[in-house]
Amino acid sequence: MEHLMAVILAAGEGKRMKSKKAKVLHEICGMPLVKWVYQSVRKAGIEDTVIVVGHKAEDVKEKLGDEILYAFQEKQLGTGHAVMQAQDYFANKEGYVMVLYGDTPLVTSDTISDAIRFHKENNNSATVITADLDDPTGYGRIVRSGDGSVLRIVEHKDANDEEKSIKEVNSGMYCFNISDLREALSELNNNNSQGEYYLTDTIEILLKKGKNVRAIKVKDSDEILGINDRIQLAKAGEIIRNRILQRFMENGVTIIDPASTFIDQEAEIGIDTIIYPSTIIEGNTKIGEDCVIGPGSRIVSCEIADGVEVKNSVVLESSIDSGTKVGPFAYIRPGSKIGKNVKIGDFVEVKKSIIGDKTKISHLTYVGDAEIGKGVNLGCGVVVVNYDGKKKNKTVVGDNCFVGCNVNLISPVEIKDNAYIAAGSTITDLVPENSLAIARSRQVIKEDWVIKKGMLNKEKKD
């Protein structure tokens, strides 16, 4: 049976990243570099993937999960040596294997699919993925014969002037016949100054055996960009971000200023939603249709229904139902569930709370660990006092309640339906349905008190 698989090399340390974590775990638009490659492999229809891990191997496995096969390269002795570590997975198989790199996140599923199709149609032993570069310095050059097949790959340091003038370079990504790759790996040696086994040498081995080796050129040379430092990480991030934004705009989302907008790969956004400048949308956020997001908003792993507005606000790991308006300058913390047609105004913070439909929390209010019913009004300066110094406690406010300005609700406490709380009250006990609670001292006036105490400001009086 013809087998199709991929091997992704992800064992390197990446010293130039100057980082405590594995290079392939650095993220672009919410995903590790290696996962971008893996996703392209999956979209190309390859289900059997082996990732060769080494440096920080357990961290890489933890991030990617158990659905992937792993091979371990204890010592990083070159790309050929890395592929050798994955041999057990294709030892008794016939078919094709793509070899890719965990630090090349720009390679697309189309390129992988095209390489496999080209490989099969030409009955190749190996297919080299190449690109034309304006400045090919440092890359191996592809020397072709008259019929377009590959004669040899010449490393930059070994190239003569004529070969250095060649713009087509080796990406290091290949499609092999599994049987031919096994044979070439068995003859691979490390007789070089670095003492390493180079995958490129398998191409030379196959050519010497008279095998058919051809090259397929990518349409966009950006696809072969490898990440070796933070500068290249930023460059690749910009390219991927633009791809994501373009996809959303093609699908009916208005993005007013793409240059200042950041949206992660896993996000979903409905048609006719408008994204204003300086907005960041992270994680597996789902945003409905006809929404207005931004400017200056950050949304992380949220579900936002149709017709919602989030202006100059932060919303984290929460849900917002249709027609609700948030902001400006609101902070919705994880675990919150905001209902339909709610108003969350300026300088309002909501933490791990449920807010019922048509409730208004217009400004300068903190709601934590609470259930607020439908049609409630929380006035300016209301504070749910949810922490007693040892644990967080819950407050429940029923439907259609009115809570006046500068009220403290001392948790745990319950306010029943249709109750009113007078402004300035500190509520510690249950408030019954349909009642008014007043929890403040009566106002007392002592006339001429300032004069009697000799505290009158004479200069001000004059």
Residues with a catalytic annotation lie at 363
Q: What is the DSSP-derived secondary structure letter of residue 224?
A: G
Judge contact between 143 and 150, C-beta under 8 A: yes
CA distance 6 to 101: 10
Structure tokens at 117: 């199709």
Q: Which whole-number Å values give the CA distances from 242 to 29, 41, 267, 458, in the listed order?
A: 10, 21, 14, 68
Residues with Cβ within 8 Å of 325's Cβ and at least 6 positions away in sequence, in order, are 308, 309, 311, 342, 343, 344
CA distance 446 to 450: 9
CA distance 453 to 146: 108
Question: Up-side HSE of residue 9: CA atoms within 13 Å toward CB?
Answer: 26
Q: Which whole-number Å values give the CA distances from 233 to 28, 200, 321, 376, 402, in the listed order?
A: 8, 25, 36, 48, 52
Question: 10 Å Cβ neighbour count for 332?
Answer: 29
Judge contact between 214 and 149, C-beta under 8 A: yes
Judge contact between 9 and 101, C-beta under 8 A: yes
Q: What are phi and psi of 118, to 5 degrees?
A: -60, -40
Judge contact between 83 and 52, C-beta under 8 A: yes
Please tell me whether residue 172 adopts helix, strand or coil conformation: strand
CA distance 279 to 295: 6
Picking from 280, 294, 305, the residue whose alpha carbon sits closest to that of residue 327 is 294
User: Beta strand pairing status for 325-326 and 31-32?
Assistant: unpaired
CA distance 235 to 36: 15
Residues with Cβ within 8 Å of 59's Cβ and at least 6 positions away in sequence, in order, are 21, 22, 25
Q: Which whole-number Å values give the CA distances from 280 to 158, 198, 247, 291, in the listed order?
A: 47, 42, 16, 15
